[in-house]
Structure 1
Amino acid sequence: MAYSTVVKRHKTRVVSVGDHLVGGDHPISVQSMTTTNTFDVEETIAQIQKLEEAGCEIVRVTVPKKEDVEACRLIRSRIKIPLIADIHYDYRMALACLEATTDAGRPAVDKIRINPGNIGGEERFKEVIRKAKDKGIPMRVGVNSGSLEKDLIEKYGFPCPEALVESALRAIETAEGLGYRDIIVSLKASHVPTAVETYSLFASKCDYPTHVGITEAGSREYGTLKSAAGIGAILLRGIGDTIRVSLLGDPVPEIAAGFDILRACDRRVNRPEVVACPTCGRLDIDLERIVAEVEAKMAHLKNPLRISILGCLVNGFGEAKEADLGIAAGAGKGIIFKKGVPIRHVTEAEMVEALLEEVGRFDEDTPALKSYQEKKKSALPILN
């Protein structure tokens, strides 16, 4: 469905992460991070495979030890998605990851993540950049409000948006001075308003692609809501090329949450969106049951359709007509709309199966519908 309000995406350069393209007009990616000890190869691979099944497109593992570098070699050979090595404090781990290859001769990692605030100073950072440039491997410059450089904390007094952005721009300037531009940037804060303003300020100054997230978001329920508020606000400013919903515990639920945020913000719709009116005393059908059945039976579909199921006549006709497919119901009966055109009457008992039939045969180029829309005529048949 075409809407008049379209958020223009901030134009960024394209960076290749393995065979995955980030930035430009490429789809916004959903990624996650393992919670396992990376050196436990079998457990880490098992978790990554669950993330792959959930739709994860890029995965990050922590690499604090030499054993983890060796593990990356083995893990990369057995997973399908790009692998990122997360480096903190010890720049030698970054160098080792960049040097490592699988038995087949491909890089052991597809990207490294460096926090400029804790890597040990500019000279060590430069050494990592030189190696990354030599090996042709991209880097995420991961600025974090909890680990800014000391001089920036002294300058600004606290991790404000200006401090975070200055840290990122400083790292970029260092990299560009060495002829290296395969960079993705994240500027994470746990405070949502700070994160939103930081990404906005950075986007006004730079065209490097960004990875968006709210760090230390919290437990699954609150962390999802907090991430939706922060990531959603950033996406709705047109900013963001990859996202992660950082949740406590099992990382697999992060993937569905990430795609739901993208879908709600109309940034990437990769399955049907079901819109339903809130429960109130005007309902004339068992809306909760109908919506639950429709969502369950469409869970496997990839059609980017907007489907409205409205249970009363107050707003039902108008909202159902705005969707790709919609039902406006009252008194146990309903009308199915397709691209604004009323196409069939159904009883409450028929609604779920009838709607699924229309989803299965949906074609927005149907000649009769196209002609109808061009003439901009509408008729609202009376339910009786």
Structure 2
Amino acid sequence: MINRVPTKKIYVGDVAVGGDAPISVQSMTYSRTRDVKHTVEQINRLHFAGCDIVRCAVPDMEDALALKEIKEQISLPLVADIHFNHKLALVAAEVVDCIRINPGNIGSKEKVAEVVKACKERNLPIRIGVNSGSLEKQFDAKYGQTAEGMVASAEYNIKYLEDLGFEDIKVSLKASDVERTVAAYRMLRPKNNYPFHLGVTEAGTLFHATVKSSIGLGTLLLDGIGDTMRVSITGELEEEINVARAILKDSGAAKDGLNIISCPTCGRIEADLVSAVSEIEKRTKHITAPLNVSVMGCVVNAIGEAAHADVAIAYGKGKGLVMVKGEVVANLDEKDLVDKFVHEVEEMAKKEKDN
């Protein structure tokens, strides 16, 4: 496992963020929040996809007033995303689990103090959300849309809250490109112990967002930085969760589900490996045990990989082996290998759960 940078533990509803808590995955609804029916439907989709925390935009009072009805119908912790109008935060604070603001754009210190007081009364954390494209004028003028400007804004807003005696804070520093995002998080990390919410914002469609987020978030996770995260995708909500969970697993930041090792397509393959791996992915999607499994298409690498896998298929010509912990448990025709493999994986997953 990755050695994470120690951070303060806070709670967003019943989800712990920071400290020794698992790295949580967040997403955001795209409907108008006042549209309670569709907003709840989206939150439920995210819940079943494996989301831990959900955020809703609150641009006006009608949206703020809808939060109570939404909260009554969902089980995920709810974050209200608010800019400029502190009265929206005061209404939202009565029902949500976290407020996301930029204290610097809320207005006077008296208005921020009102928001802080409302959050203190309900033990709500505040997320300071810094985006490179919406820096306060003084930081944009001095630094431009740079990592230095993002960090200066974050430090200013953190101090804003600390001066009011508030420290249940998490921080995000998002840019639309990987380099600035990584640089900003790395620059701010040694300066405080607040939990960080990771994300590359406005990352684009599924393909581009997956690439950008994998590089940016994966790099930070390998540095031990990050306590919660969102993969921003222009597309289906569930894809944000799928990609985020894959980044966590493949970076080693979380042990959750199967790590499927399969060889690339090449001229040595002696089986329909593409179909086999696709079927295995579908039939094992429900398994959460952290197992390494191997599906290899020829004898060159198959046995070596299988020896180090929890469960493996080593294909030959028309036949193949199923191996468990390096030991052969079956020598079968190709058509029977996937069924036997899935059975062995499910049995091992049950044992892991019982232990």
TM-score, normalising length: structure 1: 0.86
Deviation digits for residues 244-266 of structure 1, max 9, x if unmatched?
Answer: 11111432321112112212212
SS in 1 for 2:225: coil
**Equivalent position of 2:118 in the other structure:** 131
Which of 213, 224, 237 is the equivalent residue of 1:251? 237
Structure 1 counterpart of 2:238, one-letter code: V
SS in 2 for 1:187: strand
Counterpart mapping for 1:172-321 below 5 A = 172-321=158-307
**Equivalent position of 1:62 in the other structure:** 57
2:112 maps to 1:112: no
Structure with larger Rg: 1
Which of 38, 45, 55 is the equivalent residue of 2:40? 45
Structure 2 counterpart of 1:81, one-letter code: L
Cα distance in 1, alignment partners of residues 49 and 64 from structure 2: 26
2:137 maps to 1:142: no
2:85 maps to 1:90: yes
Cα distance in 1, alignment partners of residues 166 and 202 from structure 2: 30
Structure 1 counterpart of 2:188, one-letter code: F
Contact 2:53 2:76 in 1 (8 A): yes
SS in 1 for 2:106: coil
TM-score, normalising length: structure 2: 0.93
SS in 2 for 1:204: helix
- Unmatched segments (≥5 aa) in structure 2: none
SS in 1 for 2:25: strand
Structure 2 counterpart of 1:174, one-letter code: Y
Deviation of 1:60 after TM superposition, in Å, equals 0.5
Counterpart mapping for 1:5-16 below 5 A = 6-16=1-11
Structure 1 counterpart of 2:64, one-letter code: V
Contact 1:117 1:147 in 2 (8 A): no
Cα distance in 2, alignment partners of residues 123 and 324 from structure 1: 59
Cα distance in 2, alignment partners of residues 189 and 93 from structure 1: 26
Contact 2:104 2:157 in 1 (8 A): no
Q: Hey, which of these two has a bigger chunk of helix by percent?
A: 2
Contact 1:273 1:306 in 2 (8 A): yes
Calculate percent identity across the aligned residue pairs: 45
Contact 2:287 2:346 in 1 (8 A): no
Q: Report runs of 4+ in structure 1 exceeding 6 Å deviation.
A: 363-366
Structure 2 counterpart of 1:60, one-letter code: R
Cα distance in 1, alignment partners of residues 181 and 328 from structure 2: 45
Deviation digits for residues 98-123 of structure 1, max 9, x if unmatched?
Answer: 2x3xxxxxxx1000101245333555
SS in 2 for 1:214: coil
Cα distance in 1, alignment partners of residues 55 and 105 from structure 2: 18
- Unmatched segments (≥5 aa) in structure 1: 1-5, 101-107, 367-384
Cα distance in 2, alignment partners of residues 250 and 319 from structure 1: 35
Which of 22, 29, 45 is the equivalent residue of 1:27? 22
User: In angstroms, what is the RMSD of aligned CA positions?
Assistant: 2.0
Contact 1:336 1:344 in 2 (8 A): yes
SS in 2 for 1:362: helix
Deviation of 1:183 after TM superposition, in Å, equals 0.7
Contact 1:220 1:247 in 2 (8 A): yes
Deviation of 1:223 after TM superposition, in Å, equals 1.8
Q: 1:364 to 1:54 in 2, by over 3 A?
A: closer
Cα distance in 2, alignment partners of residues 364 and 246 from structure 1: 34
Q: 1:225 to 1:201 in 2, by over 3 A?
A: same
Count, aligned residues: 352
